[in-house]
Amino acid sequence: MRILIVEDDERAAQSVERILRASQYETVMADSVESASHKVLADGPFDALLVDYLLPGGTGIDFIRDARTLGCQATAILMTGWHRTKVDYECDGLKVWCVIEKPFTGETLLEKVENACALSHIPPEREEFFQRALESEAKAMRAVTKDLMDETKEIPAAQNPFRKDT
């Protein structure tokens, strides 16, 4: 499986690459929106895109939009040091499987990449189901986030994942 890693932090990129190569993934590296778009044309196709959110020349979302315009339909994973809710809103309709917050473990990375690669190979006639699942997950995340950010709304203790049992 071929993964395009788009990360401008050299140490982070090397760490991700090392984890993926140890699990037998082939990797191609890019460090900006422009270089990533070039790699899509020159080195594609890819089975998954692993993309940082903040990049020289734009955002990971900008690159994913460019990749789609260039015909790359590989499922994307967006990495961010930002709060993921802000980023989730921008992903609608772009075949972004998930947003993972930095720092993340190698185990989490491998799980997400494995799923993204599998999803990239969904037959076209089943693509609609994938899109509906992504939209449903995004709507649920927005609803939960809205509730959590509303300081006037009381969240029952049983539904609060951040509660501390005494």
* 75, 86, 96, 123, 132 from 141: Cα distances, Å: 19, 11, 14, 27, 14
Q: Is 57 helix (H, G, I), strand (E, B) or coil?
A: coil
Lookup: tokens for 82: 């930002």
Instruction: Supply the pTM of this predicted model.
Output: 0.76
pLDDT digits (tens, 9 = 90+) for 54-109: 999 999 999 999 999 999 989 999 998 876 555 555 666 667 778 888 899 999 99
* Domains of the chain and any CATH numbers: 2-122 (3.40.50.2300)
> From the CA atom positions of the chain, what is the Rg in Å?
17
Query: CB-based burial of residue 149 (10 Å sphere; 0-12 exposed, 13-18 middle, 19+ buried)?
Result: exposed
> pLDDT category, 43, cuts 50, 70, 90?
very high
Average pLDDT, the chain: 82
